[in-house]
Amino acid sequence: MTGFEGFTLDHYKEVMQDTRLLIIVLNTFIIALLSAAISTIIGVFGAIAIHFMRSKSKQTLLTLNNVLIVSPDVIIGASFLILFTIVGVKLGFVSVLLSHIAFSIPIVVIMVLPKLQEMNDSLIDAARDLGASTWHVIARVIMPFIKSGIFAGFFMALTYSLDDFAVTFFVTGNGYSTLAVEIYSRARQGVSLSINALSTLIFLFTVLLVIGYYFINQRNNRLEDKGAK
């Protein structure tokens, strides 16, 4: 990053040829997608259960839910490390996946809960009246209503997982590595321009994600305004 000689795509070529790096990128994406998917499922059901709960235990459950969001990464990472060591889970793909799922769930809940609160409870009563089973109520009445919340939750979980450094850093063993951890190790060894190339690619991808999320949001808002569902 010192002398500027001219434009070159050499560093990008270097990035593409670095197979270890590509494997790491793949790992990062797999973890992000898997953790976002699983945490969305668990989170949605958790949100539904919380919504229909009585007031006293509801408050405690909500506070517990927010603990992971508010805590600093270091504490989450350290505590998960202890947890995994005691339980005996090997540090690697499994531990990273479990940690990502763990801190994505509260995010999903926070995104879905407001949508649930917006929903008119008499919709459920009406469905029951017409003879729907519990599963039907959930699948045909509740889910479509909170669809935008579910998407938002999924996206946020995805972003948090892709971005995360601290927690992954604590629970990753020697072999496994995600993009963020890899960049950190390389950055500590010194400046290397292939990191710059990699960073630009990641940056572009993040921008694409954000734009995509923005457009989905706009579309949802427009649909809701028009009254179409």
Partner 1 sequence: METRTRNIYLVPYFLWIALFVIAPIILIVYYSFFNVEGAFTFENYKKFFTPVYMKMTLSSFWYALLITIISLAVAYPTAYLLTKTKHKSLWLLLIILPSWINLLLKAYAFIGIFGTYGVVNAVLETVGIGNRQILFTDFSFIFVSVYIFIPFMILPIFNALEKMNPSLIYAARDLGASSMGTFRKVIFPLTLDGVKAGCIAVFIPALSLFMLTRLIAGNRVITLGTAIEQHFLVTQDWGMGATIAVFLIIIMVAVMMLMGLRKRGLDLVKR
Which stretch in 10-18, 29-37, 143-151, 200-208 sits in contact with partner 1 by CB under 8 A? Answer: 200-208
Determine the size of the site formed for partner 1 (CB under 8 A).
Answer: 66
Asked whether the beta carbons of 166 and 77 are under 8 A apart, the reply is yes
Contact predicate 2/68, CB 8 Å = no
2 binds partner 1 (CB under 8 A): yes
Q: Tokens 């909170």 — which residue?
A: 146
Does 130 sit near partner 1 (CB under 8 A)?
Answer: no
**CA pair distance 101, 113, nearest whole angstrom:** 18
Question: Residue 76 is encoded by which pair of tokens?
Answer: 């989450």
**Token digits for 27?**
């790992």
Site for partner 1 in 136-175 (CB under 8 A): 137, 156, 159, 162-163, 165-166, 169-170
Instruction: Yes or no: say if 187 and 165 are a contact pair by the CB < 8 Å rule.
Output: no
Residue number, 86 or 228, with CB nearest to partner 1:
86
Residue 91 and residue 83: Cα distance in Å, rounded? 11
Note the residues at the interface with partner 1 (CB under 8 A). Answer: 1-3, 42-43, 45-46, 48-49, 52-53, 61-76, 78-83, 86, 101-103, 105, 110, 124, 134, 137, 156, 159, 162-163, 165-166, 169-170, 180, 183-184, 187-188, 191, 195-196, 199, 202-203, 206-207, 209-210, 214
